[in-house]
Amino acid sequence: MRLLRELAVAVALLVIVGVLARSGVGRFVLPVAGLAV
């Protein structure tokens, strides 16, 4: 069950990043997120 929860979180993050990228804010967030990860 834990794996499913982590997978759901990963998918949610991808969706959020996709929305931010489309709005244009992702161009600033993605590099910061890349450094954080």
pLDDT, tens digit, for every residue of 1-37?
A: 789 999 999 999 888 878 877 777 767 776 777 787 7
H or E, element range at 1: none
According to the model, what pLDDT value does residue 8 have? Answer: 94
Whole-angstrom Cα distance, residue 21 to residue 33?
Answer: 12
Determine the pLDDT at residue 26: 62
Query: Which pTM was predicted?
Result: 0.53
- At 35 the pLDDT is 80
Instruction: Give the whole-angstrom CA distance, residue 27 versus residue 4.
Output: 29
